[in-house]
Amino acid sequence: MPQATLEPKAPAPRPPAKADGELTDLLPKRLAHARPLFDTGILKRATKDSFVKLNPRALLKNPVIFVVEIGAILTTLALGRDLATGAGNIGFTLQISLWLWFTVLFANFAEAMAEARGKAQADSLRKTKTDSIAKKVVGAKIEPVAASRLRSGDVVICDTGDTIPGDGEVIDGIATVDESVITGESAPVIRESGGDRSAVTGGTKVLSDQIRIRITSNPGETFLDRMIALVEGAERQKTPNEIALNILIAGLTLIFLMAVITLQPFAQYSVNSAGAGSVPSVVVLVSLLVCLIPTTIGGLLSAIGIAGMDRVMQHNVLAMSGKAVEASGDVNTLLLDKTGTITIGNRQAVEFLTVNGVGAAELADAAQLSSLADETPEGRSVVVLAKEKYGLRGREVASHEAVFIPFSAYTRMSGVDIDGRRLRKGATSAIANFIREQGGEVPQDLLDISERISRQGGTPLAVADGRRGLGVINLKDVVKGGMKERLGQLRAMGIRTVMITGDNPLTAAAIAAEAGVDDFLAQASPADKLNYIKKEQASGRLVAMTGDGTNDAPALAQADVGLAMNTGTMAAKEAGNMVDLDSNPTKLIEVVAIGKQLLITRGALTTFSIANDVAKYFAIIPAMFMATYPVLGKLNVMGLHTPQSAVLSAVIFNALIIIALVPLALRGVKYRPESAASLLRRNLLVYGLGGILVPFPGIWAIDQLVHLLRLA
Amino acid sequence: MWKQMLPGIRFTLVFTVLTGLVYPGLVTGLCQLLFSNAANGSLVLKNGRVAGSELIGQNFTRPEYFQPRPSAAGNDGYDPTASGGSNFGPTSQKLSDRVKASAAKFRQDNPAFTGPLPADLVTASGSGLDPHLSPAATDAQVARVAAARRVSAGKIKALEARFIEGRDFGIFGEARVNVLKLNLALDGIYPLAK
Amino acid sequence: MTANGILQITIFFLAVLALTKPLGVFMTRVFAGERTFLHPVLRPLERLCYKLGGVNPEVDQRWTQYAGSLLAFSVFSAVLLYALQRLQGYLPLNPMGFGTLHPPAGAVAMTPDLAFNNAVSFTTNTNWQNYPGEATLSYLVQMLGLTMHNFTSAAAGMAIAVALIRGFVRQQANGIGNFWADLVRSTVYILLPLSVLLALFFCSQGVIQNFKPYTQATTLEGKTQVIAQGPVASQEAIKMLGTNGGGFFNANSAHPFENPTPFTNFIQLLCIFAIPAGLTYVFGEMAGDTRQGWAIFAAMSVLFLAGVFVLYPAEQAGNPVLSKFGIQSAVTANQPGGNMEGKEVRFGIAASALFATVTTDASCGAVNAMHDSLTPLGGLVPLFNMQTGEVIFGGVGAGLYGMLLFAILAVFIAGLMVGRTPEYLGKKIEGKEVKMAMIALIATSAAILAFSGASTVIQFAKSSYWNPTLGPAIANLNNGGPHGFGEVLYLFTSSAANNGSAFGGINGNAPWYNLTGGLTMLVGRFLFILPLLAAAGSLAAKKRVPVTSGTLPTHGPLFVGLLVGTVVIVSALTFFPALSLGPIVEHYLMQSGRLF
């Protein structure tokens, strides 16, 4: 008869989940140490950078804004010509020129804002990179060496108070380490040789004890270096979708360029045939062009991308590339570890089941006594359950002659010898052996109940008092509150969730059903994970997973989104394309939400930008040809005052909308987990229809103001 | 690309023969066999000579005939070797002038008619060969034709009414009168007194 | 609008709807090379074609090979047509002696530039004609040259559409089908049998079909009337069915010998939409989800109905400039009222308005009324229909692949708003596809705008090569003011869209227009098809992403609305300035009575 056993607790216990606030809310939450959207330092820096970015060579990579700049130069030249000759409407040309320059600056500002936030973060990281002196082990001696000269393979010693000089692996000793520089988390963590907690990061600080570290990175390639480069945007490359979107808006720009350039001969023909009016000036044509080309999305596109990565960062997740963030929006399959992600880390006692007419109170009492010295969460939960259900308070056992028997992997049970009683609890098979050893007989009930519990996904802990089997404690994995709901939301978003567990299939199935995952992988070995990912990918799905152990590395590398835990090994961190500094596997769900939000923001602003053009045509076209064909005034549906004020208002609106949308670009469009159909419906309504409608009152209002101030 | 060249030439010839020769040849044979009259132009004979096609409009200028719409086909209108419309746009001065002149001429020729002119009567058709008039447009000419033929307007009106074709299946297109057929009937039934 | 007019339009639409599925099912089988009820008769003919063509139809071609085959075939067949036109004087079946030393009076000479324009025109399924057919071409050229191209340019369009669908449907595939097989199957199983039936029907109604010289008639008033003849019915059938639209006669489907009755008119209308509508079903069927096809169908229908219900009331309202001469512009019991200039009495306003919409929705370009004489808003609809790239059912094949281009764009722009990188039918739409779609879009709109712009201002000396008799390019216009501009814009729009209908007043038979127009047609056809084939190749190589509830749904009303919006907004944004100086301002000018 198969007996459920107390499996080794895998994976290792993790620090309490930090971002586990409201579970139903998938929206990124800015953490305490996250920066406010606009802070004076950042604003100042961004403003300065917006001017630096005026350099046409830098702007070339943004064709839309580059075209605006060329337009601004043209109108400025026209202004110079008008000033020299005294001809033309100088006030009008001046204002158009200014607003065109503002348009470029606003677009630059959006990007600079996004970058500045990263740079500010990089600066604070860089401060921790003061060059410390490392104690390098050379043979039997210890030599002081500048940390920056350490190379991969060197061995150093760190004592209490030392800053760890570089990324490495603890090869000897155990220490508490303050990693707040990296994680923002002030609670110290334990680092010890061997196992999955051996990785240390340069810049962090040893708080107690001494460890011996083998350095694993060369100068300039440390985790901290990479992190600085990442947040600073130095390694920022355009993501595939961003490139495609750039092609689209560059193409549209080209189309509008042709539409505007050819308007000149069309206008010439019209003027000739109507015998009235004149061909629109370069200033007006440039204004029309700038209003038509998708400046809104062109100006905000890179800011959206940078801000997306920044949002990931604010969740204390380090994305190694923008591509990974983008891919996380596309994820179809999420591999979630059971322990710590779906269930709270540990099993809890939920009921006492007696055998052979043993009183429930007696069993509870024995269970509590045998667990008093058991400091594991399971043990504590037994004490708590006995207290809650039977009013048994934790007793001071020190007054009795009590000998505690700790749990050992060999005996697979623990307990207490007290007042001549030998109370034991443990794996059913171990307890059965114990009863037999004591000369007792194992009650059939005990075995049956245990069997039933494990079939239902629980873990049975048998309790014996000497030769008497008293009953069984049902230890259950407890699914996190709200998890079912949350997985349901993921399903609505079209994401399959797969639970990964070391449990046997029986247990796994029960928990899977309770949590509401779509599939599970029981008794999963690292190879199983890898194969599962490959299978999913073969059918076109994108897979995301978390991992921390060295043996997770191949799967992390294979997955499209691999979120490595910061507590994990260096190998795992290298293999994944994101690192969660909080080491909270639940965050994978948030990362997916951020990825989606990034894509939605892009789509929404593109749609909005293009939809805006409708109103601008209605503002500018009648204004252009009012003198040639006065009847076209019927298209002036907004009732704009004069041709000049119409053109100026459209240009001003076009510039201001960029600034107005910077917060949206940086913060991202509101995202709710729901089906694609309802997402599309709402976003199309807001950004499509809204994009068509909003500019009408907007331009009208600006025109009123322009008229009021007698600007045109 | 070069490998595709040879099939390019061969298929050009294959399709030229199949769809350019065999197909129209086959269709011609079948049509001549089955619909000989239609296939040859629905020609109308008068006194053994071809007097036109019942599908193709022709010019009538004399008062005793129902007169067709203005035509832009050829210099004098209704030239089947130069089919086409006026191609005047709605804001064309020439169109306005032409319609104005047509309307004035029609009112001059048909003093008995006082109502608004049917639109088809003063506008040129697309083909320039339109064989039809709207019943309203023939109605408007009944008095003139009757006077010219010295027949009562009622008789002409009755004859005209026999030539009104309704919509196809009562649904498609518009009611119309074939001007050539009506005029042929006029000549047959109410010949001009010599 | 009249109740009868609305009824005619409704019946037409319902008939198209009814034809879509049966035709779609049949065509799907044909393109898949499966057995159909026609196989016992036509399979030997199909085999014979492959044998004579020297190809193995089973070979799966990469997109480059597929495109190469298309180009090779197009080049050689165009060259053959050019030669036939230039040499017609030396060839048989030329009873009127066109191109000989003694052509009939009023004959138009087939100059090199005109022959180029026309060869390109028929090869590209445009069928723009800068000459009157009855005064220019021998029967042999009409058959060997034009009728043949009517078949093959249509079949090629269908082939391309099917190749693009394969791109969406196949997974990790290298090839997108075999061009020759697609071309032969389209012709042999679909176009030929239907054409034979239609030609017989048309002839039964009065469409002529003979090789006789023109008939001399003596009119009742004693004048001579020369009645043109020729093998019309055979060309008429494929002209409509293949959305070619090139008339045997100058007046096209307004000519009583091409379109003698309202019933033939109705059948011609059905012919235009039948295959394009059926192809939407093919799309759904091949994609394994017929809803996908119906969504495309629905989007096309919305645009079609919107067009016809702008055009029809505009024409029915008539021309206020003319009504002041005491002309009845309202419909009465026995006359149609409205704007009858350029329209036939037998068709009236409704059937003419429907025809003008349908022929420019599809890339047909046949006309049963002169578009140049449409009211401004009435003329705006055909112009705009073509400026959408003719995706409203569109040309056979061309409409579907054009609409799929817009679907790619719509999915790309709005698809992001569901929080996934865009995908259509499970295929990721990435840089390559967007680039190809944009190239196609840019190339066609560039050709329209640039050549229209040039033509409105360019000056040539009289007796120069480019426009020898008239000098400036705008001297060839038949109208002044915005309408004249509309004629230029229509010429290049129609050419780029491979439509072939015209604001016919413009005299396009001058080297300037013949060459720029021909160039525009080439751009509109091949710089549209080649990028799409490239996209098909790249799509075919991709994996299909499984559909989940997180996938953008591309079959519901929402997507239909999105697709319609994308088509309208992208086209309107590109052409609004031009249109506002053409039909839009013309509308207001007409209202105010301003003439040119």
Q: Cα–Cα distance between B185 and C507 in angstroms, integer?
A: 41
Nearest to C504 among B28, B60, B84 (CB): B84
Summarize chain B as % helix, strand, coil (round to 5). 45, 10, 45
User: What is the helix (H) or strand (E) element at residue A498, kind and residue range?
Assistant: strand A496-500
CB A322 within 8 A of CB A242: yes
Which residues, given as ranges, of chain C have pLDDT below 50?
none
Banded pLDDT at A397 (limits 50, 70, 90)? low
Residue C249: predicted pLDDT = 96
User: What is the helix (H) or strand (E) element at residue C114, kind and residue range?
Assistant: helix C112-123
Residue A234: predicted pLDDT = 53
**Beta-carbon separation of C486 and B89 below 8 A:** yes
Residues A338-395 have pLDDT tens digits of 877 788 767 788 888 888 788 888 888 888 888 877 777 788 888 888 888 877 766 6
Cis peptide before A11, with omega less than 30 degrees from 0?
yes
Residues C102-148 have pLDDT tens digits of 999 899 999 999 999 999 999 999 999 999 999 999 999 999 999 99
What pTM was computed for the model?
0.90
Q: What is the DSSP letter of C228?
A: P
Total residue count of chain A as it appears in this document: 712
Question: Taking CB atoms and an 8 Å cutoff, what residues of chain C touch A274?
Answer: 481
Nearest to C379 by CA among C431, C411, C342, C334: C342
Q: Which residues contact A140 (CB under 8 A, 6 or more apart)?
A: none
Tokens representing A292?
A: 């038509």
**Beta-carbon separation of C429 and A244 below 8 A:** yes
Question: What are chain C's partners, defined as 3 or more CB pairs within 8 angstroms?
Answer: A, B
CB atoms closer than 10 angstroms to residue C461: 11
CA of B152 vs chain C CAs: smallest distance (Å): 22
Question: Taking CB atoms and an 8 Å cutoff, what residues of chain C touch A634?
Answer: 588
Residue A506: predicted pLDDT = 79
B14 to chain C, any CB pair closer than 8 A? The answer is yes
Tokens representing A322?
A: 């923008």
Q: Cα–Cα distance between C486 and C478 in angstroms, integer?
A: 11
Taking residues A640-644, report their average pLDDT. 94
Residue A318: predicted pLDDT = 83
Question: Taking CB atoms and an 8 Å cutoff, what residues of chain B touch C332?
Answer: 118, 136
Residue A399: predicted pLDDT = 58
* pLDDT at A487 > cutoff 60: yes
Residues A89-116 have pLDDT tens digits of 899 999 999 999 999 999 999 988 888 8
Nearest to B20 among C143, C180, C341 (CB): C143
Residue A134: predicted pLDDT = 85
Residue A22: predicted pLDDT = 33
Residue A28: predicted pLDDT = 35
**Beta-carbon separation of C219 and B59 below 8 A:** yes
Residue A562 main-chain phi, psi, to 5 deg:
-115, 110
Question: At residue A503, what is the residue type?
Answer: D
Residues A526-551 have pLDDT tens digits of 788 899 999 999 888 899 998 877 77
Residue B4: predicted pLDDT = 74
Residue A25: predicted pLDDT = 38
Q: Which residues contact B141 (CB under 8 A, 6 or more apart)?
A: B66, B67, B110, B113
Residues B78-110 have pLDDT tens digits of 999 999 999 999 999 999 999 999 999 999 999
Q: Cα–Cα distance between A468 and A331 in angstroms, integer?
A: 54
Nearest to A255 among C422, C441, C565 (CB): C441
Q: Which residues contact A235 (CB under 8 A, 6 or more apart)?
A: A229, A321
Assess whether chains B and A touch, using the rule of 3 or more C-beta pairs within 8 angstroms.
no
Residue A651: predicted pLDDT = 97
Residue A603: predicted pLDDT = 93
* Backbone torsion region of residue A638, taken as left when φ is above 0, otherwise alpha when ψ lies between -120 and 50, otherwise beta: alpha
Q: Cα–Cα distance between A78 and A94 in angstroms, integer?
A: 9
* pLDDT at A24 > cutoff 50: no
Residues B32-74 have pLDDT tens digits of 999 999 999 999 999 899 999 999 999 999 999 999 999 999 9
Minimum CA–CA partner of A686 in chain C:
C417
Mean pLDDT check: name the lowest of A182-191, A676-685, B125-134, C268-277: A182-191
* pLDDT at B10 > cutoff 50: yes
Residue A605: predicted pLDDT = 95
Q: Which of A82, A196, A337, A613 is catalytic?
A: A337
Active site residue A337: yes
Banded pLDDT at A650 (limits 50, 70, 90)? very high
CB A199 within 8 A of CB A205: no
Helix (H, G, I), strand (E, B) or coil at C389: coil
* pLDDT at A669 > cutoff 60: yes
Question: Taking CB atoms and an 8 Å cutoff, what residues of chain A touch C485?
Answer: 266, 269-270, 273
Mutation to test the A interface, candidates C172, C291, C420, most A Cβ within 10 Å: C420
Banded pLDDT at A12 (limits 50, 70, 90)? very low
CB atoms closer than 10 angstroms to residue A637: 12
Residue A33: predicted pLDDT = 43
**Beta-carbon separation of A688 and C565 below 8 A:** yes
Mutation to test the C interface, candidates A262, A497, A670, A674, most C Cβ within 10 Å: A262
Tokens representing B183?
A: 């005029």
Residues A297-333 have pLDDT tens digits of 999 998 998 888 888 888 888 888 888 888 898 899 9
Residue A36: predicted pLDDT = 64
Residue C80: predicted pLDDT = 97
